[in-house]
Structure 1
Amino acid sequence: MMDKVVQKVLQKYQTSSCQQLANEKSQPPSGKKAQMMDRAVQMLQNDPQMRAEFINRVAAPIANKLFECGMIP
């Protein structure tokens, strides 16, 4: 299951434009997407090993994309 979540997160950042990411940041998720995110966050909060593995796999690609988009200094 974690592999699917990691792939989905990475795909989102790899395929989204900087404008799309900026728009998503300004609008909180709603509906089913918000529920899925809440469940994933809850799982990561409850399982430190899973959280560490998830962060190790997604942090660098996300940080690079945000840097390229000028969303982090």
Structure 2
Amino acid sequence: MKISLMASLGVAVALAAATPAQAQAQAPIVNLVAKKVAERYQTSTCDQLWAARGERRGSQEQRVYEMLADDPQTRQAFFDQISGPVMNKLFVCGMIP
């Protein structure tokens, strides 16, 4: 689950690094990636999420994290799309207060 999630994030971030015209044309792809990430959280069990929580970041995940950190607009747009489903699942699983 984690590798696919990070690969999806990597695609979204790479698309966001494009010029504004390219980014606008690629927005449907970013939307699709965000939808896949949200679906993964919604379909994962709480046990799977707890197990993944303690894992160390892999090199691909770290690279994606850094890319998101470098592009606030894409990060905000991506988080706006995934925050509801992800936060709801984390709350249900007792991972946030």
TM-score, normalised with respect to structure 2: 0.61
Matched, 1:45 2:69: yes
Counterpart position of 2:84: 60
Q: Is the 8 A contact 2:34 2:82 kept in 1?
A: yes
Cα deviation for residue 49 of structure 1 reads 0.6
Which structure's relative contact order is higher, taking Cα pairs within 8 Å and 6+ residues apart? 1
SS in 2 for 1:27: coil
Q: Output one character per residue of 1:26-70: Cα deviation in whole Å (capped at 9) or x when no partner.
A: 2224xxxx2221222111111111111011111111110011111
Stretches of structure 2 that go unaligned for 5 or more consecutive residues are 1-10, 13-29
Of the two, which has the highest radius of gyration? 2
Q: Is the 8 A contact 2:34 2:81 kept in 1?
A: yes
Matched, 1:28 2:56: yes
Q: Distance in 2 between matches of 1:42 and 1:26?
A: 20
Structure 1 pair 5–43 and aligned structure 2 pair: CA distance change class (3 A) = farther
Q: Distance in 2 between matches of 1:41 and 1:48?
A: 12
